[in-house]
Amino acid sequence: MLAFFVIIASLFPLGVDPDSRLLRNIAPGVVWFSALLASMLGLGSLFSSDYTDGTLEQMWISPQPRILIVAGKILAQCLSTGIPLVLISPLLALQFGLSLSEMRLLAVSLLTGIPVLHLIGSIGSALTIGVRGGGLVVALIVLPLCVPVLVFGAGRNVPLVGAVLALTLVFAPWAAASALGIVVED
C-alpha cells in the first residue's frame, strides 16, 4: 500500500508541466488522491479474512461490545496503514516544491483525514463480506462517500476534515457493526 502511494504521487509530477507554481498548486490534491487510492487497497480485506476463518463469529459471541471490536479493527488498520502514509507524505511533498509550513499542513490534514477514509471504508468492507469481487464493490461504495473529505483535505481545511472525522467516529463503527451483525447472524 505504501509503495502504491509513493508510485502514484511520484509519477504524477512527471506527467504534467514542470512549472513549479503548477506543481505547488496541485500537490495537495495529488497527495490526497494518492492516499485515497492507497487506502482503498486494504479495505476489501478488513473483515473478510476474519469471516472466512471463523474468527469474526468468535469475536461476535465474546462478551465484548461489538462496536468496540469493530472500532479496534478499524484502529489497527488505521495505525498499520494510515500512519505510514502520513509519515511519508512530507517526503513526497518535496518533489512538488512545497514549503515546510505547507508540508506540515498537508501532513496534519492527512493525519486527520486518513482515519475518516478507514472509517468509511469499514462500512463498505462490512457490507461486502462474502461477495465475489468484494474489493471492487467496496471501492464503488466508498469512493463517492469519501469525496467530501478528499475536497476538504486537498483544500487543507483541517477544521472541516476534523468535523467529518467526528461524525464518522460516531456513526461508522456502529454502521459497520450493524452490517457485520447481519452477515454473522445470517
Contact 20, 97 (CB under 8 A): yes
Q: Which of the four pLDDT bands, split at 50, 70 and 90, describes residue 28?
A: very high
pLDDT, tens only, 86-116: 999 999 999 898 999 999 999 999 999 999 9
DSSP letters for 47-74: THHHHHTTHHHHHHTSSS-HHHHHHHHH
- Give which of 119, 125, 90 is closest to 6, Cα–Cα: 90
Amino acid 79: pLDDT: 94
| Res. 133 pLDDT band, cuts 50 70 90 | confident
Grid cell at residue 55 = 474468527
Query: How many separate domains does the chain show?
Result: 1
- pLDDT of 43 reads 84
Helix intervals (H) in the chain: 2-11, 20-43, 48-52, 55-60, 66-77, 83-94, 100-127, 134-145, 147-154, 158-185
Asked if residue 114 lies in contact with residue 41, where contact means CB atoms within 8 angstroms, the answer is no
pTM of the model: 0.92
Give mean pLDDT, residues 140-146: 92
C-alpha–C-alpha distance, residues 44 and 23, integer Å: 32
* Crossing angle of the two packed helices 2-11 and 83-94, in degrees rounded to 10: 20
Please say whether the beta carbons of 43 and 125 come within 8 A.
yes
List the domain range (segments joined by +) for residue 97.
2-185
Residue 129 in 3-state DSSP? coil
